[in-house]
Amino acid sequence: MKTKGNGYEGRVALVTGAGAADGIGFAAAKLLAEAGAKVAITSTTRRIQDRLKELPGDAASKAAFIADLSDNAEAKALVAAVKKKFGRLDILINNAGMVQTGKKNTASPVERIDDDEWRRALSLNLDTCFFVTRAAAPIMQRQRYGRIVNVSSVSGPLVTFPRGGAYCTAKAAMTGYTRSLALELAPLGITANAIAPGWIATGSQSAKEKRAGRNTPARRSGRPEEVGAVAFFLAGEAASYVTGQLIVVDGGNIIQEIKGN
């Protein structure tokens, strides 16, 4: 497939976890749509239809789906629906995870993490990525082209926090999975990279997280569109020689040993 202009025009992208207007997923989806890609977005609730209205482009160039991607059958159906509408799938941004709208989020000390909390964290943050990628990879392999971008976190691969045992384990596992994808799919023109956001000013950011953002070297939290811009680059043709990497977007926070002064 030959693309025009900037390398995004005519490409087909699927962005998961794009239901929040002020979230990383929707920020990345907007950048792709503005660049001329055909974009499918998904979340677990009907609010994704509001995001569809706000997404640049006409009805033929965009689509929205409601799906619980922790369910393998729904993940497979989602990818099939995107392929049916647009005929191909070039870009996958796995942003679904962390918490699920309308569901209780539990974070326990390591010795009190029960089976349900453990499995829930892995289901939301690892299975969602795995199920969708497993369904999408054969399409990209047949095309001999693809860009997979997994939104991980600094929490798990690089740092951790109290009561984050289950969540951090899932995010660390995501980066390992990303490297396996990169190694095996590189000969087919498919890249796989992960992004590790730090403190980002999404709508769900707590007061404590805002204070932490002010203690970064940048002295502020990041903006969703700043993470989206990294995803946008990794999703493009210009990033063809970048694969298997974890790109940190945290205002320099992990490089400072002393925080909070």
Query: Quick one: what percent of the chain has pLDDT higher than 70?
Result: 96
Q: What's the mean pLDDT in 41-69?
A: 97
- Phi and psi torsions of 36, nearest 5°: 105, 5
Tokens of 92: 């996958």
Supply the range of the domain harboring residue 154: 12-253
Q: How do residues 196-238 score in pLDDT, each as one tens digit?
A: 999 999 988 999 999 999 999 999 999 999 999 999 999 999 9
Number of domains in the chain: 1
Give the CB-side neighbour count of residue 113, counting CA atoms within 13 A: 18
Identified catalytic residue from 8, 167, 177, 241: 167
Taking all residues of the chain, what is their mean pLDDT, rounded to a whole number?
95
CA dist 188 and 146 (Å) reads 8
Q: How far apart are CA 218 and CA 201, in angstroms?
A: 13
Report the DSSP beta bridge partners of residue 222.
200
Distance between CA 79 and CA 257 in Å, rounded? Answer: 43
- Residue 226 located in a structural domain: yes
What CATH number is given to the structural domain containing 91?
Answer: 3.40.50.720
Mean pLDDT along residues 236-256 = 97
pLDDT in tens, 76-132: 999 999 999 999 999 999 999 875 544 567 889 999 999 999 999 999 999 999 999
| 167 is an active site residue | yes
Burial of 39 (0-12, 13-18, 19+ CB in 10 A): buried
More confident residue, 6 or 87: 87
Question: Which amino acid belongs to residue 201?
Answer: A
Residue 69 CA to residue 18 CA, distance in Å, equals 12
Please indicate, yes or no, if residue 72 is contained in any of the structural domains. Answer: yes
Structural contact between residues 226 and 191, judged by C-beta atoms closer than 8 angstroms: no
Let me know if residue 147 belongs to a domain: yes
Q: What is the pTM of this model?
A: 0.95
The fraction of the chain above a pLDDT of 90, given in percent, is: 91
